[in-house]
Amino acid sequence: MAESVSKRREWVGRVVSNKMDKTVVVEIERSIIHPLYRKVLRRVTKFKAHDENNACKIGDRVRMIETRPISKDKHMRVIEVVEKGQGS
């Protein structure tokens, strides 16, 4: 039998807010090249992620995985804290 391969996407980002209960706002940064001017542009996307134990602090690098919708805006779950932030 073939093993099932997870099709859930994973992201690594930085926590920018943890003021909500069991929820953190994580910022994902990516670089793109402008199609005409060839300048490297920084693009930032913010996701809300479920943090069951309220373990994440501002500045932490976390790994998130796609999951079922938990609320209106939340469809990610924090798997682990990769690196603690400066203030933690």
pTM here is 0.84
pLDDT digits (tens, 9 = 90+) for 33-86: 999 999 999 999 999 999 999 999 999 999 999 999 999 999 999 999 999 988
Report the pLDDT value the prediction gives residue 45, as an integer from 0 to 100.
Answer: 97
* Residues spanned by the domain of 28: 13-83
CATH number of the domain within which 27 lies = 2.40.50.140
The band of 1, judged by pLDDT with boundaries at 50, 70 and 90, is low
Report the pLDDT value the prediction gives residue 83, as an integer from 0 to 100.
Answer: 93
4 pLDDT higher than 80: no
Whether 27 is covered by a domain: the verdict is yes
Alpha-carbon span 81 to 59, nearest angstrom: 11
Higher pLDDT, 18 or 1: 18
Per the structure, the count of domains in the chain is 1
Report the pLDDT value the prediction gives residue 86, as an integer from 0 to 100.
Answer: 81
Alpha-carbon span 31 to 88, nearest angstrom: 27
Whether 4 is covered by a domain: the verdict is no
